[in-house]
Amino acid sequence: MNQHIWTPSRRIFLSRSLTFGAAMFTVRGAFADELVRTPAQTEGPFYPRKLPLDTDNDLIIINDGITPAVGEITHLTGRILDATGSPVKNALVEIWQCDGKGVYLHTGDSGKKQDQQDKNFQGFGRFLTASSGEYYFRTIKPVLYPGRAAPHIHFKIKKGGKELLCTQCYIKGYPGNEKDGVYRGIRGDKARAAVDVDFTPIKASKFGELSAKWDIVLGDTPADA
């Protein structure tokens, strides 16, 4: 499944990514009783109509391009967990978000705003989890676009071709969150906290890169493939 995602050059990137991710996670399966399931949220209108040619987990560089995307580079990691806290392997994690200028890859948006679009931003990426359930993307910190008050990243989790969850994550503490219709539609403080993500500067980074960690808890326990 999805073999076309992994080209040799991407495999190098991927292995580096997992090392980065592995260092961040030490607790596994603990406090399973306290896990809050990640709330489902609307897919919205901008899931790409046609997937880009490059769909790897690095949204900052398209194929072998040399110009990076505009935005605050973010190392976005986390685990896909089932409701008992066990990692889910072979989960296909898809993300999509607008570029640093507020334009989605979806032709309904980018078609109207070609002069504004950041053509170096991939706009969509995917990652297949291994047994640790971890995912990793290099992307940008989300920014605002017309129609929403809260910057966000869209996520879809699939397994064996079946969609298990469609949701979004947000910048924790961003003032616009409370005015955003989709965010406000999430009922309860615990459920809202479950979609709030810290975007934290990486001290060692000379380029102001950020790290963001978001564990996603699925509602059903998917059968292992």
Q: Whose Cβ is closer to Fe ion: residue 79's or residue 154's?
A: 154
Q: How many residues bind Fe ion (CB under 5 A)?
A: 1
Neighbours of 48 (CB within 10 A): 16
The angle at the Cα of 114, spanning 209 to 60, to the nearest 5 degrees, equals 20
**Residues between 33 and 72 with contacts to Fe ion, criterion CB under 5 A:** 44
Q: Whose Cβ is closer to Fe ion: residue 69's or residue 81's?
A: 69
| Ordered DSSP codes for 56-123 | SSB-SS-TT-SSPPSS-EEEEEEEEE-TTS-B-TT-EEEEE---TTS--SSHHHHTT-TTT--TT---
**Nearest approach, Cβ of residue 154 and Fe ion (Å):** 6
**Nearest approach, Cβ of residue 40 and Fe ion (Å):** 15
**Nearest approach, Cβ of residue 152 and Fe ion (Å):** 6
**Nearest approach, Cβ of residue 210 and Fe ion (Å):** 19
Rg of the Cα trace of the chain? 17
Give the span between the Cα atoms of 85 and 154, in whole angstroms.
22
Residue 69 carries which side chain, given as an amino acid letter?
A
Q: Whose Cβ is closer to Fe ion: residue 121's or residue 222's?
A: 121
The verdict on 176 binding Fe ion (CB under 5 A) reads no
Q: Which residue is nearest to Fe ion (CB)?
A: 44
Q: Whose Cβ is closer to Fe ion: residue 79's or residue 106's?
A: 106
Contact residues toward Fe ion (CB under 5 A) are 44
